[in-house]
Amino acid sequence: MADYNPILVFVISIFILQFLSKTMDSRTNGEIEDNPNPEVSESKLKNVESVGEKDTLGECKKSASTNDMLFRADEIDLKCLDVHLEKHLSRAWSRNVEPNRPKEPWEIDLAKLEIRNLIARGAYGTVYRGTYDGQDVAVKLLDWGEDDMATTNELAALRASFQQEVAVWQKLDHPNVTSFIGASMGTSNLKIPAKNSSDDPTELPSKACCVVVEFLRGGTLKGLLYRNRKKKLPYKIVIQLALDLARGLSYLHSKKIVHRDVKAENMLLDSNRKLKIADFGVARVEAQNPKDMTGETGTLGYMAPEVLEGKPYNRKCDVYSFGVCLWETYCCDLPYPFLSFAEVSSAVVRHNLRPEIPRCCPSSLANVMRRCWDANPDKRPEMPEVVKLLEAIDTTKGGGMIPEDQVAAAGCFCFGPVRGP
């Protein structure tokens, strides 16, 4: 019994005593004279179930003896009762405390939010399309799991991650950064559409949180590159996309914000193909002491050597990732698609592995790539300098990646077989 909450044990004891009392009263009144071996009925179990939902005792019903209608203490599933009691107490706490919590300036009115359909699932949440107060929006829900499936520490970590993302995003205002609209710390009365239209909407866990941002119709940069993996992108478009990303990162760094997960999948496009940086789930304010920022944060293939090694890092890790994104945008290809995590980590750190630049790439652009992914963070340029380097590139004479059907005729070194995203 040392493993269980003493208050819970006391409450269960009271329930059992109440049940025994009612059982003895029923025997005294002769209610079971005609049935010496009665079954435990739903009506009698309601005396125990009155503390919560009808299925609260679930498996615990099995512990009722059919001979004397008594509960055997050694057969009661205390863990089952502990979970459900905590669930009901949590809901009661949310109802009683949450309304009294001061509302944050960024908190939205959930009554104005309507979720329509699923867009994507990621490591840090699920994204839906919807409307808020008549405006098209994207709604990112943090994946908390079902009620009571996460421990207290896990929930605390998730909420801290959510608050960090909101704290970063709400202060940003730049044409190359996705616009933040609002967020909610609790979505208990928010429903998401079911997979089948005939099903009822799915109710979210009461502890879930969501971030609402502008909806961009152009999809992700990754999707654009995949669609153009054979014919490639014109050089002018490559530079335009690179400039959008460089300007957005330059703005973030000016605000002391390190994105830490710069990749094509986290870049969104509007209907005019303007690129905007999104997903600040792992972004954070840059530490004054570089030693305060360590750990493998990011996505394989885009992670700087110092990040892969778990060494202290700063905003220059974003510059490295930008260099890889620049190569990816030019080539419409993925870096290291056939290597495992261990192989990439080892080769990038120990053997200075980098994506191979095609010979048809103009030297001005190739130079930006090489400088950005230099192994020494101190030798990488700051993003404002990268913006100037890209602005100076002449795109009037072309210079983009040669389409695959023209590679043989042009004699340009490219990449052989087509590779997927």
The catalytic residues are 261
For 183, the token pair is 């967020």
DSSP string across 144-157: --STT-S-HHHHHH
What residues are paired with 131 via a beta bridge?
114, 136
296 to 307, 345, 366: CA distances (angstroms): 5, 11, 27
How many CB atoms within 10 Å of residue 329?
Answer: 25
Tokens linked to 165: 């993302």
DSSP 373: T
Taking residue 47's Cβ as centre, other Cβ atoms within 10 Å add up to: 13
At residue 3, the 3 state secondary structure works out as coil
Displacement of CA 147 from its chain's centroid (Å) = 18
Exposed, middle or buried by CB within 10 Å (0-12, 13-18, 19+), for 258?
Answer: buried
